[in-house]
Amino acid sequence: MNGKVYLVGAGPGDPDLLTVKAARLLRTADVVLHDDLVSGDVLSLAAPAAVLKNVGKRCGTKVIRQDEINFLMISFASQGLRVVRLKSGDPLVFGRGGEEITALRKASVDYEIVPGVTSALAAAASAQIPLTDRRATSAVVFVTGHQAAENKTNWKALVSTGATVVVYMPGHEYSGIAERLLSAGLSGETPCALISRASSPAQRVRCTTVGELGSAPTMPAPTLLVVGEVVRFGAAAIHQAYGAWVAPPREPEVDHRAIGPGS
């Protein structure tokens, strides 16, 4: 009997942000192996007869090892079952999707990847922050605040590009991230935004600067940090909704003498 594993992105938590395909697979799955951060609203879409198992690892606490998750996927699929491996955000962005793909290939298990809205996109949209803007930057970098020991992030290289930096899992104390950014050469006046529980009714946003980031109060997980001049473009909306404030950008000056007829 040949089953199949679907690596499905659950998005940031709002079930309305699921893809149509993800919702359909949830309704027809025999087994759902889900991350800890997948919302109850999303899980409620699963078939009533489906087996739901939390295989999440959160805040460094490993209740279940990755090799155990791999074993469960392969074991259930080998029984001819349709398995949805439901991952918060997108399966291929800081979700160990690559490791699970490798395990499934090695076991000759059929699989398919269904993308989801990654948290950075949902957080930026909720806070009305454009991650790229031709007035500020044309690039964006996703990085995690937690790295494996053998894969340390080169913060100086990231900062030197001038790209917007989105930090997933910045931790409970933001002073460490602030120190890395400052040591990498980023100005302490650079605006940044902490976005907690993006797309949910409990969403909160706090604007600050890199220099003041270390003294910012801890926000409930999951939290993302957006760093860069683009934060200023969302400042007015953030101030209206949450009361936090970062000075908005000045409009670029236009030399009207250079504008000819028909321009």
| Angle at 169 (CA atoms; ends 151, 132), nearest 5 degrees | 90
Residue whose structure tokens are 């922050």: 129
Q: Which pLDDT score is estimated for 257?
A: 43
Q: CATH 3.30.950.10 spans which residues of the chain?
A: 119-242
Of residues 259 and 245, more confidence is placed in 245
Q: How far apart are CA 107 and CA 22, in angstroms?
A: 24
Query: Are the C-beta atoms of residues 68 and 85 closer than 8 Å to each other?
Result: no
Q: How confident is the model at residue 2 (pLDDT cuts 50, 70, 90)?
A: confident
* Ranges assigned E (strand) in the chain: 4-9, 31-34, 51-54, 82-87, 111-114, 140-144, 164-168, 191-196, 204-209, 223-227
% of the chain at pLDDT higher than 90: 73
Of the listed ranges 6-20, 32-46, 78-92, 200-214, the least confidently predicted one is: 200-214
Q: Which pLDDT score is estimated for 186?
A: 96
Q: How confident is the model at residue 262 (pLDDT cuts 50, 70, 90)?
A: very low
Q: How confident is the model at residue 238 (pLDDT cuts 50, 70, 90)?
A: confident
CA nearest 163: which of 139, 144, 181, 182? 139
Q: How far apart are CA 17 and CA 19, in angstroms?
A: 6
Q: CATH 3.40.1010.10 spans which residues of the chain?
A: 4-114
Of residues 261 and 57, more confidence is placed in 57
Q: Which of 35, 41, 53, 90 is catalytic?
A: 35
Fold of 119-242: 3.30.950
Q: How far apart are CA 193 and CA 41, in angstroms?
A: 27
% of the chain at pLDDT higher than 70: 86
Write out pLDDT tens, residues 87-142.
Answer: 999 999 998 999 999 999 999 999 999 999 999 999 999 889 999 999 999 999 99
Q: Which of 36, 53, 57, 133 is catalytic?
A: 57
Fold of 4-114: Cobalt-precorrin-4 Transmethylase; domain 1 (3.40.1010)
Q: Say which residues have a Cβ less than 8 Å from residue 79's Cβ, sequence separation at least 6.
A: 1, 3
Q: How far apart are CA 254 and CA 251, in angstroms?
A: 9
Q: Which pLDDT score is estimated for 56?
A: 86
Q: Which pLDDT score is estimated for 173?
A: 84
Whether 35 is catalytic is yes
Q: Which pLDDT score is estimated for 251?
A: 46
Q: How confident is the model at residue 244 (pLDDT cuts 50, 70, 90)?
A: low
Give the predicted TM-score (pTM) of the model.
Answer: 0.85
Whether 57 is catalytic is yes
Q: How far apart are CA 112 and CA 257, in angstroms?
A: 57
